[in-house]
Amino acid sequence: MQLDGKTIEYVASKSNEMIEKQLASYREKRSVVAAIIGVNTLFIPFFLGGLQDGYTWVKIISFLPMAAICISLFNFIKIYHLKPLEHGINVDTYNDLAQMSFEEATLKEIAVNQYSFKQNEKILEKVNKSYQFGVNFTIAAIALSIIVLSLNFVFSPEKAATEVIILKQKKMGDGNNTGNNNNTGSGNNTPTTTQPNPNILPPVNP
């Protein structure tokens, strides 16, 4: 079927819009990934710092959220190593297009955009897959980190030592109160003795 110039121009315009949407989605994903990588990087020292005085078994459990964070970072960084998206018509082909008629140049643009769109779909599929894996493991790492930090707070050695000190102080206080009560009672029950007056002589029998 023979297409007129306006139809060809319309198809070329729509193909360019599709390429722009793919590029916009790709840039947005990369921006979000960069932000998540920064948050994860700052979260790691904060998380490890909260476990310095924890029990050994709590530190062992902390490897689970750390592993989840590492997996998420691996998937996010992998996005930056994928092949960049196609942008459609290359600047190097402008000289060739200039020697063509308007219709031929527009058809050439449509063909290039169609090829670029298909190639970009494959790349975006990998990007979305890595992005989704990274987000899922980031959420899992945050949830596990909250659980580990909560366990570390509940079973903290410092908290246990403080409770022991409080119990010892309470026992010492109860012992002192008992001793004071005994001393007070003993003082009240001390018998009194009457000393004889040396100035009073005993009666003499005749």
Residues 179-189 have a mean pLDDT of 52
Q: Any alpha helices (H) in 52-190, and if so which ranges?
A: 56-61, 63-80, 94-98, 102-154, 157-188
Comparing CA positions, the residue from 38, 68, 40 lying closest to residue 137 is 68
pLDDT digit string (tens) for 80-91? 999 899 988 877
The Cα-based distances of 63 to 29, 46, 66, 139, 154 in angstroms read 28, 14, 5, 15, 19
* Higher pLDDT pick, 98 / 30: 30
Flag whether pLDDT at 130 surpasses 80.
Answer: yes
Residue given tokens 């060809």 in the structure block: 8
- Looking at residue 183, its pLDDT comes to 52
Q: What is the rounded CA–CA span in Å between residue 150 and residue 144?
A: 10
Q: Give the contacts of 197 (CB within 8 A, at least 6 positions apart).
A: none
- Looking at residue 154, its pLDDT comes to 83
Q: Give the contacts of 89 (CB within 8 A, at least 6 positions apart).
A: 97, 108, 109, 112, 113
Entry pTM: 0.67
Flag whether pLDDT at 160 surpasses 50.
Answer: no
Given a contact cutoff of 8 angstroms between Cβ atoms, the answer to whether 103 and 95 are in contact is no
pLDDT digit string (tens) for 39-80? 988 888 888 887 777 778 888 888 899 999 999 999 999 999
Q: Percent of the chain scored above 90 by pLDDT? A: 36
Query: Of the ranges 4-8, 135-139, 157-161, which one carries the lowest mean pLDDT score?
Result: 157-161
Flag whether pLDDT at 133 surpasses 60.
Answer: yes
Q: What is the rounded CA–CA span in Å between residue 140 and residue 122?
A: 28
Residues 160-176 have a mean pLDDT of 55
